[in-house]
Amino acid sequence: MTLRAEWGGRVDTLDIQVAMMWEAWRRLAVHGGFLTKPWYSDVERQADAPPLLSVEALRADMVRMTAVMGRTMYMFTQDRSPKRPRLPRATMGAMLSARSGFEGWVANQVFVDMRLPTSGLQPVDDPRMAPRQSSNPNLYSIGFRLVTDFVDIWHPDFVRLGGLVDPQGRISPMGYVSWLSDDVIDSRQLPDAPIKQRYANGTLLGVRLDADDEGGQAEALAAPCTEPG
């Protein structure tokens, strides 16, 4: 399950980027379970790499990543194993505008990919397969909080949890839970949704995950946002 935020045109200083990344880690940890695990740099994955346990360590690593990669792209992981990833875990990446880095880059994006162990062919964060007792959060049940956290932190154009790609390869801003800013779309043009409410300077939309066809609901929400025009 991936949580993603995107926005364009805004260039933040390194100190602001560090502060936002640190706050994102703090808010993820509030949800408990594997999201409380420490984060490591994912540029040079080494088994003996130290965790990033302070703002100062995070800032130093982001400076180092920019120098190593030659651009403002940051990658972090909760798994420092260079060979076999251990589940559950999360990885996080960001491509951020800067005065140096991506030449002419004006778009920003941040994502968190959250992986839980599987049960058969279904992820255990699927509400139909999740065990009754688990120390890990159900990613669907906290979906609205995850999305609003990213709205608060990154001040983006849109956020989505999950997401759909149409047959032409276009990515919809809609997921199981989504938020779209008034700066990019008039709220009156948004499709009706099982769950629809105002939040900050935009609109939260979501499907009811206790329904039999939540995937179909999400596709119906995504369609108006991926159709030509």
Residue 144: is its pLDDT beyond 60? yes
Looking at the 3D structure of the chain, how many domains does it have? Answer: 2
Give the range among 55-64, 68-77, 133-142, 143-152 with minimum mean pLDDT: 133-142
Highest mean pLDDT among 18-22, 38-42, 132-136, 181-185: 18-22
pLDDT digits (tens, 9 = 90+) for 52-63: 999 999 999 888
Residue 113 structural domain = 2-156
Are 217 and 182 within one domain?
A: yes
pLDDT value, residue 4: 93
pLDDT value, residue 124: 38
Are 117 and 95 within one domain?
A: yes
Are 48 and 152 within one domain?
A: yes
Domain boundary among 156, 171, 204: 156
Are 131 and 177 within one domain?
A: no
Are 141 and 31 within one domain?
A: yes
Are 141 and 177 within one domain?
A: no
Residue 220: is its pLDDT beyond 60? no
Q: Cα torsion at 60, 66, 68, 73 (round to 10°)?
A: 120
Are 145 and 172 within one domain?
A: no
Domain boundary among 115, 136, 156: 156
Are 148 and 186 within one domain?
A: no
Are 84 and 126 within one domain?
A: yes
pLDDT digits (tens, 9 = 90+) for 29-42: 999 888 999 999 87
- Going from the C-alpha of 58 to that of each of 30, 62, 125, 202, the distances in angstroms are 19, 6, 29, 30
- The answer to pTM > 0.75 is yes
Domain boundary among 125, 156, 187: 156
Phi, psi dihedrals of residue 104, rounded to the nearest 5°: 75, 10
Are 66 and 93 within one domain?
A: yes
Average pLDDT, rounded, for the chain:
75
Residues paired with residue 41 on neighbouring β-strands, in sequence order: 76
Whole-number percent of the chain with pLDDT over 90: 31
Are 11 and 115 within one domain?
A: yes
Whole-number percent of the chain with pLDDT over 70: 64
Name the token pair of 208: 């009811």
Are 142 and 186 within one domain?
A: no
Q: Across the chain, where does the E strand assignment appear?
A: 2-8, 40-41, 73-77, 89-95, 107-115, 118-119, 122-123, 158-161, 177-181, 195-199, 202-206
73's CB contacts (< 8 A; 6+ apart) are: 65, 93, 94, 95, 96, 101, 102
| pLDDT class of 25 with cuts at 50, 70, 90 | very high
